[in-house]
Structure 1
Amino acid sequence: MVNWTNFDALDSYQALKNVDAVNVREVMSGESGAQRVKKYSVPMAEGMAYNYAAKAVDDDILAVLQKLSDEAQLTEKYEELYNGAVINTGEKRLVLHQLCRGQLGKDVVVDGVNKREFYQAQQDRIAKFANDVHAGKIVNGKGEKFTTVVQIGIGGSDLGPRALYLALENWAKTNHTLKMQAAFISNVDPDDASAVLNNIDVEHALFIVVSKSGTTLETLTNAAFVEDALKKAGVDPSKHMLACTSETSPLANNDKFLDSFYMDDYIGGRYSSSSAVGCCVLSLAFGPEVFARLMAGAHAADETAKEKDILKNPSLLDALIGVYERNFLDYATTAVLPYSQALSRFPAHLQQLDMESNGKSVNRFGEKVNYVTGPIIFGEPGTNGQHSFYQLLHQGKTIVPLQFIGFKDSQIGNDVVIEGSTSQKKLDANVAAQIVAFACGKDDENPNKNFDGGRPSSIIIGQQLNPETLGALLAHFENKVMFQGFVWNINSFDQEGVQLGKVLAKRVLAHDTDGALAVYSDLLEI
């Protein structure tokens, strides 16, 4: 029997309040630090590792975190989720994004439909469509092959797929698997759509309109903008536009589209990269085989998330350490710092994933909670960030936990040796140096050059960023956010916080305003 209990009602909550703090600078200095780096590392899927040596934990704290996991029934709740329980209490829905990546438990059947078979069928349909496009069996109005695919969507319909595309674009070029260039239109700002259209060959582009409901204002506005551009180019929009939507939306089976591919209400936008939302654009860009490899990596990570032992479950361990930092060390922010330019938009995806999921102040039953929940997430790739906001991270008054991601090999495979080392070695030297600099600091008589240290961090290390490791990274963070939501007893799968602004915006456009809303509307000449 699974019990949903507020965090502060658990015995483990009180135990964590009483544990002895760990001095990161002290334990990471000298031989002690060397031993920690070797000891505090957990294997991940696809040959990666989660190293948490520079976090403010020790064996005693880890033992309490294990008790927390057991008491809060975290892996049991995960099992409930993938076996089809109504986990999204706000919208009374199942949560099934992991099911897009493979079967984890028993069959999930809703209204007579096996959901794993449904998701697989959509992937199979998309694979056939993509292969036909690549083979020139599906062509534009002039009988010519499509060369570009453009995703039109916002939020989860943009951030995740865009991050994944950028992560694999150069890998695909290096490995000769890039089938089509991809671009993305998300912002309702007309300059966004115009900039994309001015940089592609419209006559040889396929456009994917992504909206589960088929009513998303920004997406429909941008779709109309693109449709107008196609008409002005003398092109029939219905020969260039696809829909990715639900089977009951106004976009489904619509003769305005070349074809329609389907998702459902059981996959939230920020979790939708594994669904048709990501499958369509990524299969067209890289080929269905590459998307299948991405899903295989994600599934492997989903399997490790079943482990009850937190030292064998990296996403659970990462989640629990994050909870300890947020609720007992009072760290409000986490920086995601990938030392990989290919992951340039991954922090933006994780920002939505984490903050939209766990930015809540009521529990699963709509009752106020008395403890803080999700952290603020931000980040940029290294080494760019070092020359930007690292100043505050090193010497500011606010301590920010750091999540590094690094790879031993580049995606290009033929790096150049400059001054005795390759570019990749220089990149990795920087991330190693930063971890130690943040943890150990440096004493100096000049206050401007003094570093207090004690800044906690972890690092995920892989051999190379490729489809499998990228999929495992995606699932690792999705599962981390899920486990933290379980600890805090909140619903990580709705997003009511984005709705109020939408409602007021519609009032502004309908000129139904008063008070401050009316004045701001006048200032902007709406």
Structure 2
Amino acid sequence: MKNINPTKTFSWKQLTNHFHDVKNIHINDLFNIDKNRFHNYSILFQDDILVDFSKNRITNQTLQLLLMLAKECFLSDAIQSMFTGHKINRTENRPVLHTALRSKFSNTITVDNINIMINVQKELKKIKKFSDSIIQGSWKGYTGKSISDVVNVGIGGSYLGPYMVTESLKFYKNHLKIHFISNIDGTNIVEVLKKINLETTIFLIASKSFSTDETISNANYLKNWCLFRTNCLKYIDFHFFALCENTTAALKFGIISENIFKFWDWVGGRYSLWSSSGLSIALSIGFKNFELLLHGAYIMDQHFLNQDLSQNIPVILALISLWYTNFFKTETEAIFPYDEYMHAFPEYLQQSYMESNGKSIDRSGNLVTWNTSPIIWGQRGTNGQHSFFQLLHQGTTFIPCDFIIPAVSHNPINDHHKKLLSNFLAQTRSLAFGNENNMDNNINLSNPDCSSHVSYKYCSGNKPTNSIMLKNLTPCNLGSLISLYEHKIFVQGVILNIFSFDQWGVELGKLVANDLFSDLLKNKFNNLYDSSTKGLLRVYKKWI
């Protein structure tokens, strides 16, 4: 990928001038000017996913200038580089090939002169064979009983991805109970252990390096706890499995080679749900549905790779987001899935966005002077409407939002889904247009002594949203949706000239924590710590 300062491009300068021309235009005016605005600013994907970006503060000129920016930053070349296995993760000297994990129809993708698709297909077959054996009951535990519970032990992408997908696709789940242990807080592990029977439970230890402190600490506790309770040295062989790249460490832990499911260093942790790290997904919904999830991601990959930038959904959404963060200077974006099953989707996207693009150094090693990642947050609808939507409508903070809903509910009781859809439509409409047309034209909103209470009801509108409507929430559609956001994040990283696939900031916290942990074990604290840290340690020592 080329190192280009986006603010020095011709299109960025044009966008700056254009912003001053259009920054005060109301979304209502944009719809009045263009009676076909929905048609012109929406894209239907595979007859299953509709993306409506018409309620944004953009004009045709805005989009043309943003597309010019993408071209000036050689976005198309960057996309090709990722899909063909170039080492675009330069700070770690790795390719970025999570797309290969769902490339069912690709026979050859080469990394360091090795066709990686051979091993990808081999691991998929292993996942299928194992998941079928667990679901069908042919795999037995150490006492000869079939498996009823699965505990996924992992953190970061090894937890957030599988958890989000298994929750989102709970409608498709089978009889197996899926549990997740991620936190180093002992409460997490203790509460899960209350729910399971060791005779009928398997443990999936998901860590790419098989050295992640939280995961391996929890795994060691579980191993010792299980061996003590069962008094059976062979328990590990029947109940413990590794999902990792570092097979040597997994073997040293005590997991036999047959129980190791491999993925590779070109798979980032936050993209690992498509790999063997997603074994809990295959166990929860069955391998056929796992394949459909992969296929949904694949068809979005092909759209992203082959579609013209002007009709490319991830590209369009990325450019609109960049428009807000760098010209309107917005700091956050909100994600609102109007589906109970998708309650974990905003949390999943928090990692995807902020671990990827939460950077302040560009690809040339210089401090950036532009905004990179927005703060991502959100909640399922309609719950959010009864808490923080007040701020969206009348607050002083400008927050672009994505609203997501399936048109068809998996649980169509009474008129509930029509009411849910009504709220979905009402919120995007109200945020865009406000209630200005319904206000008393004689009200003076600048007069604090105004006696009328109508002013307090005033909603200005002009708050941008994207509406993403799925025909229904299926494994295939969910795969496409996740892939859409992955590529949106990638596009922004390319244009903003940052490396999206490392996370060195996370590593710093780990190093400092290791030093503090060592001191806590010795009960002797470093005098070089700052006064706040020393003060907290003194109180801790006093209280324990």
The verdict on a shared fold, with TM-score over 0.5 as the criterion, is: yes
1:496 counterpart residue number: 504
- Measure how far apart 1:245 and its partner are: 0.8
| In structure 1, distance between residues paired with 2:396 and 2:203 | 47
Q: For residues 137-186 of structure 1, what are the alpha-carbon distances to aligned partners after superposition, in whole Å with 9 as ceiling and x for unaligned?
A: 321011111011111000011001100000001x215xxxx142211110
1:274 counterpart residue number: 274
2:424 counterpart residue number: 431
Does the 8 A contact of 1:46 with 1:297 survive in 2?
Answer: no
Secondary structure of 1:328's counterpart equals helix
Question: Which structure 1 segments of 5+ residues have no match?
Answer: none
1:371-520 alignment, distance < 5 Å:
371-412=370-411, 415-417=412-414, 422-443=415-436, 444=439, 445=443, 446-511=454-519, 513-514=526-527, 515-516=529-530, 517-520=533-536
Greater C-alpha Rg:
2
Could you tell me the TM-score, scaled by structure 2's length?
A: 0.90
Q: Which amino acid aligns with 1:484?
A: Q
Secondary structure of 1:458's counterpart equals strand
Secondary structure of 1:524's counterpart equals helix
1:55-454 alignment, distance < 5 Å:
55-102=56-103, 107-169=108-170, 171-173=171-173, 178-234=174-230, 236-252=235-251, 255-257=254-256, 259-278=259-278, 280-307=279-306, 309-412=308-411, 415-417=412-414, 422-443=415-436, 444=439, 445=443, 446-454=454-462
| In structure 2, distance between residues paired with 1:159 and 1:123 | 21
Question: Which structure 2 segments of 5+ residues have no match?
Answer: 444-453, 520-524
Q: Which amino acid aligns with 2:98?
A: H
| In structure 2, distance between residues paired with 1:93 and 1:5 | 21
Q: For residues 319-361 of structure 1, what are the alpha-carbon distances to aligned partners after superposition, in whole Å with 9 as ceiling and x for unaligned?
A: 0111111111111110001111111001001000000000001
Cα 1:438/1:245, change in 2 over 3 Å? same
Cα 1:106/1:94, change in 2 over 3 Å? farther
Secondary structure of 1:382's counterpart equals coil
Does the 8 A contact of 2:145 with 2:199 survive in 1?
Answer: no
| In structure 2, distance between residues paired with 1:391 and 1:379 | 14
- Measure how far apart 1:459 and its partner are: 1.0
2:538 counterpart residue number: 522
Secondary structure of 2:379's counterpart equals coil
Secondary structure of 2:490's counterpart equals helix
- Measure how far apart 1:428 and its partner are: 0.7
- Measure how far apart 1:106 and its partner are: 8.6
- Measure how far apart 1:254 and its partner are: 5.5
| In structure 2, distance between residues paired with 1:262 and 1:442 | 56
Cα 1:509/1:254, change in 2 over 3 Å? closer
Does the 8 A contact of 1:24 with 1:55 survive in 2?
Answer: no
The answer on 1:12 being equivalent to 2:11 is: yes
Secondary structure of 1:306's counterpart equals helix
- RMSD of aligned alpha carbons: 2.0
Cα 1:46/1:117, change in 2 over 3 Å? farther
Q: For residues 287-344 of structure 1, what are the alpha-carbon distances to aligned partners after superposition, in whole Å with 9 as ceiling and x for unaligned?
A: 1111100000000000110245333210110001111111111111100011111110
Moved more, 248-257 or 367-376: 248-257
| In structure 2, distance between residues paired with 1:7 and 1:370 | 10
Cα 1:46/1:523, change in 2 over 3 Å? farther
Q: Which amino acid aligns with 1:481?
A: I
| In structure 2, distance between residues paired with 1:182 and 1:105 | 32
| In structure 1, distance between residues paired with 2:58 and 2:475 | 32
Secondary structure of 1:289's counterpart equals helix
Secondary structure of 2:380's counterpart equals coil
| In structure 1, distance between residues paired with 2:419 and 2:91 | 48
Could you tell me the TM-score, scaled by structure 1's length?
A: 0.93
| In structure 1, distance between residues paired with 2:457 and 2:229 | 60
- Measure how far apart 1:248 and its partner are: 4.5
Secondary structure of 2:283's counterpart equals helix
Q: Which amino acid aligns with 1:26?
A: N
- Measure how far apart 1:230 and its partner are: 1.9
Q: Which amino acid aligns with 1:219?
A: T
- Measure how far apart 1:263 and its partner are: 1.1
Does the 8 A contact of 1:140 with 1:239 survive in 2?
Answer: yes
| In structure 1, distance between residues paired with 2:295 and 2:251 | 29
Does the 8 A contact of 1:210 with 1:219 survive in 2?
Answer: yes
Cα 1:242/1:46, change in 2 over 3 Å? farther
Cα 1:199/1:55, change in 2 over 3 Å? same
| In structure 1, distance between residues paired with 2:67 and 2:137 | 55
| In structure 2, distance between residues paired with 1:127 and 1:220 | 26
Does the 8 A contact of 1:363 with 1:491 survive in 2?
Answer: yes
